[in-house]
Amino acid sequence: MAGSSGQQAPDYRSILSISDEAARAQALNEHLSTRSYVQGYSLSQADVDAFRQLSTPPADPQLFHVARWFRHIEALLGSPCGKGQPCRLQASKGRRVQPQWSPPAGTQPCRLHLYNSLTRNKEVFIPQDGKKVTWYCCGPTVYDASHMGHARSYISFDILRRVLKDYFKFDVFYCMNITDIDDKIIKRARQNHLFEQYLEKRPEAAQLLEDVQAALKPFLVKLNETTDPDKKQMLERIQHEVQLATEPLEKAVQSRLTGEEVNSCVEVLLEEAKDLLSDWLDSTLGSDVTDNSIFSKLPKFWEGEFHRDMEALNVLPPDVLTRVSEYVPEIVNFVQKIVDNGYGYVSNGSVYFDTAKFASSEKHSYGKLVPEAVGDQKALQEGEGDLSISADRLSEKRSPNDFALWKASKPGEPSWPCPWGKGRPGWHIECSAMAGTLLGASMDIHGGGFDLRFPHHDNELAQSEAYFENDCWVRYFLHTGHLTIAGCKMSKSLKNFITIKDALKKHSARQLRLAFLMHSWKDTLDYSSNTMESALQYEKFLNEFFLNVKDILRAPVDITGQFEKWGEEEAELNKNFYDKKTAIHEALCDNVDTRTVMEEMRALVSQCNLYMAARKAVRKRPNRALLENIALYLTHMLKIFGAIEEESSLGFPVGGSGTSLNLESTVMPYLQVLSEFREGVRKIAREQKVPEVLQLSDALRDDILPELGVRFEDHEGLPTVVKLVDRNTLLKEREEKRQVEEEKRKKKEEAARRKQEQEAAKLAKMKIPPSEMFLSETDKYSKFDENGLPTHDAEGKELSKGQAKKVKKLFEAQEKLYKEYLQMPQNGSFQ
């Protein structure tokens, strides 16, 4: 408060000495009346001392000088304090003082929770080292084509990884392995090699028939011993197909047909009996295969196919990829340390993990993930592999629950030197050694399919914690849910085995990803026509929104015109936008619940569509900046999920990866000119009444442009909307539209035909004189009166009063119709 020049602060000493508060206030009022009240008057310490004696302004209206100064000082420096309390009133030393500031209460920030298989609960995700996240994911065993079960895991983990990295801004180090040494690979590689050798020998028809019969003997024994219904069904199908292919060749040989006809039958039988003969050849000659390169050729080929499939699915590559064949020395050292720590033992050249010893240790626990499955011998044997469950191998273990860390190689198997003799790694040890080498004694996340929990991941945990002598090798274990095919387990025996390449022939990578996003990553996903139809409709729904927003943004405006005044509709939509962003954030924090996210995004787009429709109804343009913000946000989220490629700035790309921006920016100006020219021509054609020109304009829209991937949408009173859309989508829409129109045409024709028949029937009925209408009904009546009315029924009994009344009513109605007929002109409507 700046005071007037030369103003002296009053002497308050005599006033402060007055003991009576009322008298003191009166004296203070008199002193203040001698001072001019100027906003910003410089306060002295005497002023402060005087007013700290007052707890409230005086109620007496005559003391208004005191009350006015009290409130003025209170507004500037805060309320005065009670007697004996420290007061906030301080001298300002000639300048205005800011009032005290209090921070807002705020809300508690939402924290990311992940479903941890180690606890079977959603846990707060806390990385061990700041924002850095170490993550190991079990990769494929590469011996065959990647299928939709693989897609289930790797697309789901790709979504989770992208969300942690790009949404929550964690620094994710993602490691994945390739299992290229495994019982399945060894057996399949030998079978392929031996069958190729068999084909090179070009067996004669008689020899082939003999070999097939020889192969059927052990095959039928295996079939009879198989109890698994799916496997049994598959073996029965092989047997049936082989028998069907065998009969024509047997007849051809017996009939001494020409070589070409016999060779054709031979080719068919070789194709159908490939699995049967391969298994038989392996059982008889497999031990003779000694070239290690045979066992690397197969996994190398299928690994390449796997990477191509992942690239086609837009799955990010791992930061580091490990192959078992490249980590054998590390695996040997890993196994040796487990033995040295007392948790492994050597038996007949193999090394086994001592589960009982490990479980009895105070600092360790076996079966952390699925403790109820410990002792499940079927699951344990599947984990050991088909080549490792013979009676002699099982007898090497101290306990049936023990599992192989290192397997002594038998003839016909690849081998590497080690302290225990030539051998090869066990399945479970591979991941432990490779992950331990790269990620150390404890990682943040380990991921894999639900079916890997036991024994694979439980055994990984045990042997790794035995190696590191800790109890925290994995902090969070994430398992993706199963995948079913139309409600059934995917199986070759059920003929519902779908490879990734087959799936991509029917649907795009984006559509598959959208289907996965619309389901929880940890629950079972059913891959079916209904699931994919939902994904297709969702994609179409979002794409139409993006195309509509792009059309709005293409409307020419000056630089200031892009900022428009907001009304209630814009404020409401913006509020909904922020509410949906909050809901989406909360859903992502809740175990990356993409299903809820997709529903919230759908709801947001629906609100936008309602807003745009309302603006269109009153012939007003929607607010471009607001819609652009929403569309960019949705694009950003879809990019995070991997459903939109990076080069697309807004909405889904047009024309495929890498071409979107160039195509749209290049083509759109020309299409806009074409649209405006067409609109001008249509206007003239309507004014001049030239229907042929309007028909040509419609043909351009409906027949020509869809072939080029262009959609024109005409709206009464508004400019034509121009959209670039996938050509196949437009052609499909056009065909569906034609089918709907054809259905309407058929229904219209059918309605006209029925109407014509009804009118013809009515006319025929009108032509009958009432006196003749009952005469033909001899099955009902036997006698009639002079007017043609029935009097007796077919049995000769006189009609009852009710019956007579009924026929008379019908007679009168017909009489009325007949009169109408007689009054009709000769060329009337019914002629």
**What's the pLDDT at 717?**
78
More confident residue, 120 or 22: 120
Percent of the chain with pLDDT over 90: 64
Q: pLDDT confidence of 231, banded at 50, 70, 90?
A: confident
Please state the separation of Cα 480 from the chain's center in Å: 13
Q: pLDDT confidence of 87, banded at 50, 70, 90?
A: very low
**What's the pLDDT at 581?**
98
More confident residue, 805 or 92: 805
Q: List alpha helices for 201-273, DSSP H.
A: 205-225, 229-254, 259-272
Kindly state the average pLDDT of the residues 292-305.
95
Amino acid 699 reads A
Q: pLDDT confidence of 563, banded at 50, 70, 90?
A: confident
Percent of the chain with pLDDT over 70: 90
Amino acid 69 reads W
**What's the pLDDT at 82?**
47
- CB burial readout 551-566, b (16+ within 10 A) else e: bbeeeeeeeeeeeeee
Across 279-283, 412-416, 768-772, least confident range: 768-772
User: What residues are paired with 350 via a beta bridge?
Assistant: 347
Kindly state the average pLDDT of the residues 147-170.
97
Across 88-102, 131-145, 621-635, 721-735, least confident range: 88-102
Judge whether residue 548 has pLDDT over 50.
yes
Across 119-128, 277-286, 374-383, least confident range: 374-383
With CA atoms as reference, report the closest residue to 477 among 111, 112, 114, 131.
Answer: 114
Kindly state the average pLDDT of the residues 87-101.
63
Distances (CA, A) of 226 to 151, 215, 223, 568, 593: 29, 17, 5, 71, 41
pTM above threshold 0.85: no
DSSP assignment of 413-468:
S--B--TTSSEEE-HHHHHHHHHHHHHTT-EEEEEEEGGGIIIIIHHHHHHHHHHH
For residue range 32-74, list pLDDT tens digits in order: 776 654 444 455 666 666 666 666 777 777 676 777 777 766 6
Report the C-alpha gap between 791 and 808 in whole angstroms: 11
For residue range 330-358, list pLDDT tens digits in order: 999 999 999 999 999 999 999 999 999 99
Number of H helices, E strands in the chain: 27, 18
Report the C-alpha gap between 203 and 389 in whole angstroms: 34
More confident residue, 208 or 828: 208
More confident residue, 788 or 659: 788
Across 24-28, 136-140, 710-714, 760-764, least confident range: 24-28
CA count, 13 A, side-chain hemisphere, 732: 7
Judge whether residue 536 has pLDDT over 60.
yes
List of residues 6+ apart from 414 with CB closer than 8 A: 181, 186, 292, 295, 424
**What's the pLDDT at 36?**
53
For residue range 758-770, list pLDDT tens digits in order: 988 888 888 889 9
For residue range 750-794, list pLDDT tens digits in order: 999 999 989 888 888 888 899 999 998 888 999 999 989 999 998
Residue that the structure tokens 């229907």 belong to: 691
Element (H, E) at 805: helix 801-823
Judge whether residue 96 has pLDDT over 90.
no
Judge whether residue 668 has pLDDT over 50.
yes
Judge whether residue 227 has pLDDT over 60.
yes
Distances (CA, A) of 177 to 300, 392, 424, 438, 500: 13, 31, 17, 11, 19
Judge whether residue 592 has pLDDT over 80.
yes
Across 112-126, 481-495, 504-518, least confident range: 481-495
Residue 141 backbone phi and psi in degrees, to 5: -90, 110
Mean pLDDT taken over the chain:
89
